[in-house]
Amino acid sequence: MIHFEDLPDILTMKELQAYLRLGRNTTYDLLNNGAIPSVRVNQKFLIPKKAVRDFLDRAGESLGAGIPVKGSA
């Protein structure tokens, strides 16, 4: 298992794919539609670690809206 703290400051597409445990096409879709901001250099995506955290925070907010989280109250 990869921990967020262990990620490099700039991730490659393959590193992002492995961390999120997503398929290649889904990962490309997230990058191409801007859901996870990135910089493209030639054919290579460079993804800031902060962009991954922001994406996960937004996804968690939308998924958890109105659903109690274990241990909170």
pLDDT digits 0-9 by tens, 4-42: 999 999 999 999 999 999 999 999 999 999 999 999 999
Q: Is residue 10 part of a domain?
A: yes
Domain count, the chain: 1
Q: What's the confidence (pLDDT) of residue 56?
A: 93
CATH number where 39 lies? 1.10.1660
Residues written for the chain: 73
| pLDDT grade for 60, boundaries at 50, 70 and 90 | confident
Q: Is residue 70 part of a domain?
A: no
Q: Is residue 42 part of a domain?
A: yes
Q: Which residues form the domain of 38?
A: 4-64
Mean pLDDT of 51-72: 74
Q: What's the confidence (pLDDT) of residue 1?
A: 79
Mean pLDDT of 56-68: 71
Q: Is residue 27 part of a domain?
A: yes
Structure pTM? 0.79
Q: Is residue 72 part of a domain?
A: no
Burial code (b: 16+ CB inside 10 Å, e: under 16) for 18-57 equals: ebbeeeeeebeebbeeeebebeeeeeebebebebbeebee
